[in-house]
Amino acid sequence: MQHVLSVAQMGEADRRTIAGGTPGIDLMEAAGGGVADEICAEYGPEVRILVLAGPGNNGGDGFVIARLLEERGYQVVVGLLGAPERLKGDALLAFEGMSGEAVAAEAALVADADVIVDALFGAGLDRPLEGPARELAEAVNARRRQGARVVAVDLPSGVSGDTGAILANAEGGVAVEADFTVTFCRMKPGHLLYPGCGLCGEVRVVDIGIPDRIVDEVVGEAPGLHLNEPDLWRAAWRAPGVRDHKYTRGHAVVAGGPVHATGAARLSAGAALRIGAGLVTLASPSQAVAVNAAHLTAVMIRPVDDAAGFSALLADGRLNAVVAGPGFGVGAAMRAVVLAVLAGENPQRAVVLDADALTSFAENPQGLFDVISASACRDVVLTPHEGEFARLFPDLTDENVSRVQRAREAARISGATVLLKGADTVIAGPDGRAAICNNAVAWLASAGSGDVLAGIIGGLLAQGLSGFDAAAMGAWCHGEAGRVAGAGLIAEDLAPSLKPVIARLAADCDSTSKDN
C-alpha cells in the first residue's frame, strides 16, 4: 500500500532517520541524486539547465542536483534566492560542495534556460510566494509557455503540501507549473489534490534511504492516508471460485425512479451486476415496470411503489445491498424509502446513498445521520459531489481546508463512509482512514457516470466488502473503466468497459494465490 504522508509526517520520518544515525546531508545527497538521475533520463547534456535554489533544504537539494549534473557534463547555472550567508546546516554543506558559483536568482535568468529546476521551496511551504519568489515563479511559467521544460523538486513552489492549494494572499496566489515533479520517500497530499495535482505533471517518487519501518511507525500513530490503488483493498475482494454460484455472490437492490426518469437506476443496476453481484433487482414503480423491462434482461424487476413496499422486499435477508437515490426524485417519498432501507434488523445489509437520496435530506442532514447511527446495517456509503456535500455538510465547505480533512470530518459526523467525488475523489471512513484517487479521466464528466459508480459500489457491498473497501475499489474500477472506454465515452459505455478491468484484477488474484 502506498502511504501518502502529510508534511508533518514526512518531517518526522526525516527526523527519525537522522536520529537513527543517517546524516542529514546523506539524505540530501540521495534526494539530489534521484532528481539528477531523472533529469538525465529525460534530457541530454546539450540542454542548458537553470537550477533555482531557495534558502532552505529544498535549495540544498538543488545545489546537489547542480553539482551532479555538472559532473555529468551538463551546462548548469545556479540562481540562489537570498544571500549565501543565510544558508545553514545541510543546505550550506551542499552549497559549499558545488564547484561553481551561484548567482542571484532573477527573473531574467530563465530566458536562456532549456530546462528549469524548481528547487525554491518544497512541500513544507506554508505561506504564499511574494516579492522576488513570486516574480521567479511567474517568469518560470512564462518561459515554460515558450517551450522550456520545468522539473519541480519535491513539489512545485507555491503549492501546499497538505492541501494541494495554491498558497495565496489578498492579491491571489502563484505557483510553478512543472512538467514533472520528483518527490522523496512517499507522495504528499499536494501531489494528488487539485489544483496542486495539475501543476505537478507526472510525479516520480525516489527512495532516499528512509526505511519503510520508520514510515510505518510514523503513519501507525494516526489514521492512514493512502493512494487508492489495488494493494489497498485487493485482499478484501476475490474473484468467483469454481464452487461459487449466484447466491454466494450477494444480491443487490436498486431503487428505481418514475417512468420519465428510469435510466439512472438502470445504469446503477447494470453496473452492480457487471462488477460481480450474483443477483440484482431493480425495485421499480409499477408505472415504470414496462419501460424498465424493455431495457433489462439479466437484471430482475420487482414492482415497488412506496416505502412499505421496500420494507416488504427487504424482509428477505438475502438482499444484502441497496443503492438508493439515482433518478428517484427529491422529496418526502425519497426520504421515506431511505428510512425504510436503513430500518430493520438485518446486520448483513449495506447501503449506498447517492444523488437524490442525499439532497432529500438537505434541510435536515442530522436527521439522516442519526438514523445511520442507529441503523443495524453493517455499512452505509454516501457518494456526494461537491454540491451535494455542501447541502449535507454546510459547515465543511471552506476551500482552504483539504478535501481529505473535509471528507474525514464528514465521515465522522455522519457515521458513514464518505466518497467525495471529483477529479481527485477522496474516500474517508468513520475510523479516519482515507484514500485519494488519481486515475480518473476527464471524459467521466458525463451524465450518468455517477449512477454507474453508485452501482459498482453497491455490487461490491453485495459481495461482502466493507463500506470503505467497496467505495475505494469502486472508485478505482470506475476510473479504470473510463480509461478503457476512452474519449467520447457516455455512461452506457462504462459497465461493459469494466470487463477488462475485472479480468486484470482476477488475474492478479490468481497470480497472488499461486505465489502463496
**What is the rounded average pLDDT of the residues 30-57?**
98
Of residues 367, 378, 302, the one with CA closest to residue 344 = 378
Share of the chain above pLDDT 70, in %: 98
| Grid cell in block for residue 211 | 526505511
Say what the pLDDT of residue 428 is.
98
| Grid cell in block for residue 470 | 467497496
Sequence-distant (6+) residues with CB within 8 A of 214 are 13, 16, 17, 20
Question: Do residues 115 and 148 make contact, with C-beta atoms less than 8 angstroms apart?
Answer: yes
Q: How many angstroms separate the CA atoms of 236 and 442, rounded?
A: 28
pLDDT digits 0-9 by tens, 149-175: 999 999 999 999 999 999 999 889 999
- Calculate the CA dihedral of residues 485, 488, 489, 491 and round it to 10 degrees: 180
Say what the pLDDT of residue 311 is.
97
Helix or strand (DSSP H, E) at 381: strand 379-382
Mean per-residue pLDDT of the chain: 96
279-284 β-sheet, strand order: 225-227, 434-436, 426-428, 417-420, 379-382, 350-353, 319-324, 251-255, 279-284, 300-303
**Mind giving me the DSSP string for 492-515?**
HHHHHHHHHHHHHHHHHHHHHHHH
Residue 459 has pLDDT above 80, yes or no: yes
| N- to C-terminal Cα separation, the chain | 18
Instruction: Kindly report the pTM of this predicted structure.
Output: 0.95
Residue 18: what are its φ and ψ, rounded to 5°? -65, -40
Question: Do residues 61 and 34 make contact, with C-beta atoms less than 8 angstroms apart?
Answer: no
Q: Is the dihedral of CA 465, 424, 266, 368 positive or negative?
A: positive
Residue 370 pLDDT class (50, 70, 90 cuts): very high
- Calculate the CA dihedral of residues 144, 145, 147, 152 and round it to 10 degrees: 20
- What amino acid is encoded at 2 in this protein? Q
Q: How many angstroms separate the CA atoms of 407 and 21, rounded?
A: 38
Q: What is the DSSP letter of 159?
A: B
Q: How many angstroms separate the CA atoms of 475 and 427, rounded?
A: 9
Q: How many angstroms separate the CA atoms of 461 and 481, rounded?
A: 19
| Grid cell in block for residue 464 | 461482502
Q: What is the DSSP letter of 246?
A: G
Q: How many angstroms separate the CA atoms of 461 and 233, rounded?
A: 13
Residue 516 has pLDDT above 60, yes or no: no
Q: How many angstroms separate the CA atoms of 208 and 184, rounded?
A: 6
Please tell me whether the peptide bond between 303 and the residue prior to it is cis, using omega within 30 degrees of 0.
no
pLDDT digits 0-9 by tens, 472-514: 999 999 999 999 999 999 999 999 999 999 999 999 876 555 5
Residue 85 pLDDT class (50, 70, 90 cuts): very high
Residue 190 has pLDDT above 80, yes or no: yes
Q: Is the dihedral of CA 13, 15, 20, 26 positive or negative?
A: positive
Q: How many residues does the chain have?
A: 516
Residue 91 pLDDT class (50, 70, 90 cuts): very high
% helix, strand, coil for the chain, step of 5:
45, 15, 35
Question: Do residues 265 and 282 make contact, with C-beta atoms less than 8 angstroms apart?
Answer: yes
Say what the pLDDT of residue 515 is.
47
